Structure 1
Amino acid sequence: MRKLIASTFASLDGVMQAPGGPEEDPTGGFTLGGWMFAHREDESMDISASGFDARNRELVLGRKTYEIFAAYWPCQPDDHPIAKIFNATRKHVASRTLTALHWNNSTLLQGAVDSAIIALKAQPGPDLQMIGSGNLIQTLQSASLIDEYNVWTFPLVLGRGKRLFGEMARPSALRLVRSQVSTSGVVMSTYVPGGDIRLGSFAGAEPGE
């Protein structure tokens, strides 16, 4: 069975909204779009290692991320290495409002998204890669369908905006399998599901016990 991998950029306080530019996603009055710009020339940040270029993978995208990508990547030069991959690879889109997709090799997921992802994972083919797509990540995390998380944590506190995990996230443990710090202070971490959270207490025994 192929894996479902989620890769995302996030601030230290967990905000993942509009890392690439002011116009990327200003919903909710978010005014700090483009917050990862200062790190753009950090050559120690290998996007391929964390799946951000979707090399040898198929994309799974939420509606908003699909619309952002579909407006940008087809307009890039034909020899742009990431554009070549994104434009050619299969793209599976989760949306309750879109009825047609115009970006090459894109299809809408049918029915309940968790059931559609289960069916996709059971099909032969390369691993499935999510990039951004915060609402979709939260939905699939709650259904325990994500097999790997690549989270790049930037040394910023944004204070407001869409967060990687919200109040409806399923409580669960994660196991860190890889971590690296870029020269500009970005912590690039890879996690896999680690089962249930193990609870305990540092409080001592009650007197007399």
Structure 2
Amino acid sequence: MRKLIASAFVSLDGVVQAPGGPDEDPAEGFAYGGWMFGYFDEAMALSGSGFDGKDRELVLGRRTYEIFEAYWPNQPDDNPVARTFNSTKKHVASRTLKTLHWKNSVLLGNDAAQAIAVLKTQAGRDLQIIGSSNLIQSLQAASLIDEYHLWTFPVVLGRGKRLFEAGAKPGALRLVSSRTSSTGVVMSAYIPAGDIQLGSLG
């Protein structure tokens, strides 16, 4: 059974909206698009932290798919991330798109969670969600995510779409790896660890 890995850039207060640029996702007047770029250093290689999709198939929500489709096919062939994203299979969750123009892209159908559950039982590469915060909400609620790769940036945004919105399914996570950049970005991987263990410090 293949894994489903969710990868996201997240602020200290849990926001994942538009980390890459002002025009990425200005929904609901979000004014801080591009908030992660002041924090990059040499240690923050996308490939080393599993954000490049290498040896995986991508799972994308509609908005992230449209952003990626407009950008990655136009990058030079010597860009390794572009080569991976353009060549790998992409599973897209959308109820509005009818045709996908980015090569190797397929629609998941009306029930994305059910489609992903079926994909996980099939032979093949692990599946990776990048961005796609709305889709993460649905798949987290269905207990389909096997691992989280999170880069937590030392910035508080105060508003915006969050990795875990109100009503997220409660559960514990276990840290399996972590390192920190020179700019204070914490690059961590977590796996679900069952129910939350409750108790008292008194």
How many residues align? The count is 202
Instruction: Give 1 or 2 for the bigger CA radius of gyration.
Output: 1
Q: Which runs of 5+ in 1 are unaligned?
A: 204-209
Aligned equivalent of 1:30: 30
Taking only aligned residues, the RMSD between alpha carbons, in angstroms, comes to: 0.9
Contact 1:51 1:129 in 2 (8 A): no
Q: Distance in 1 between matches of 2:47 and 2:195?
A: 30
Aligned equivalent of 1:155: 154
Instruction: Write the letter of the residue equivalent to 1:19.
Output: P
Instruction: Write the letter of the residue equivalent to 2:85.
Output: F
Task: State percent identity of aligned pairs.
Answer: 68
Aligned equivalent of 2:19: 19
Which 10-residue stretch deviates more, 108-117 or 81-90?
108-117
Q: How does 1:1-209 map to 2 (within 5 A)?
A: 1-40=1-40, 42-203=41-202
Q: Secondary structure at the match of 1:149?
A: strand
Q: Distance in 1 between matches of 2:183 and 2:16?
A: 18
Q: Which runs of 5+ in 2 are unaligned?
A: none
Query: Structure 1, residues 168-192: CA drift from partner, whole Å, max 9, x if none?
Result: 2100000001111111100011000
Instruction: Write the letter of the residue equivalent to 1:94.
Output: A
**What's the TM-score, normalizing by structure 2?**
0.97
Post-superposition shift, 1:202? Answer: 2.9
Q: Distance in 1 between matches of 2:192 and 2:39?
A: 29
Instruction: Write the letter of the residue equivalent to 1:33.
Output: G
Q: Which runs of 4+ in 1 moved over 4 A?
A: none
**What's the TM-score, normalizing by structure 1?**
0.94
